Amino acid sequence: MTGLVKAARRGDRRAQRALFDHHHRRIMAYCLRCADGDREQAMDLTQETFTRVFSRLDTLRDPDRFTGWLFAIAANVCRTQLSRAGRARELVDAFALEQDRHVQADDARARERRIALVQRLLAKIEDRTLRKIVNLKYAEPEHTTRQIAAQLDIPHGTVTVKLSRFRAAVRRDLARALLEVS
């Protein structure tokens, strides 16, 4: 294997192909597991892994450690790509939430997804008052801004301003994520 790695490092296409053929199935299986069985996504992750490997082969110090290095790159590719995709998906969900779309009372799955999203968003909020406001606004049962103000004993304007700022922050995060994906 060391000879193949050295030849591939020099640009030998046959050696690169042999390395690809030897490791492709295991890397694909790893990426498939990381992508929760999504074959298309796993294929993209596998392709990105080998692209990085062959473009950075000159940085591998010890050719005997090629397999470990290859899997480390696959892990980094999967972690980076899947976290970006997860973050973008979370922001799209948050944007839908921000649009104040009401969930049908009989749609239990949608309501559960919405509550889970609210909990993820709340985990990132340090302002306790804002956390309470968002929870009352978007969790079950959903409260009006006037009900929230009365329950928390704060001015109605404070509730509407804090919700408005929260929604603006969600939109900014969504825009930033969309720019990163582009």
Residue type, 74: A
Q: Mind listing the pLDDT tens digit of every residue in the chain (182 residues)?
A: 788 888 888 888 998 899 989 999 999 988 888 887 888 888 888 888 988 898 888 888 888 888 888 888 888 888 887 766 666 566 656 655 555 445 444 566 766 766 676 677 677 777 788 888 887 887 767 788 899 999 999 998 888 888 888 777 777 766 666 565 54
- The span from the first CA to the last CA of the chain, in angstroms, equals 38
Q: Report yes or no: 21 and 68 within 8 Å, Cβ to Cβ.
A: no
> So what's the pLDDT on residue 147?
92
> So what's the pLDDT on residue 103?
46
> So what's the pLDDT on residue 4?
81
Count of CB atoms within 10 A of residue 34's CB?
19
Could you tell me the residue ranges of all domains in the chain?
A: 2-86, 100-181
Rounded to an integer, what distance in angstroms lies between the CA atom of residue 38 and that of residue 27? Answer: 14
Residue type, 32: L
> So what's the pLDDT on residue 9?
86
**pTM exceeds 0.75, yes or no:** no
* Coil vs helix vs strand at 142: coil
Token pair listed for 176: 């930033």
Fold topology of 100-181: Arc Repressor Mutant, subunit A (1.10.10)
> So what's the pLDDT on residue 14?
92
CATH 3.40.50.1220, domain 2-86, yes or no: no
> So what's the pLDDT on residue 167?
77
Q: Report yes or no: 169 and 121 within 8 Å, Cβ to Cβ.
A: no
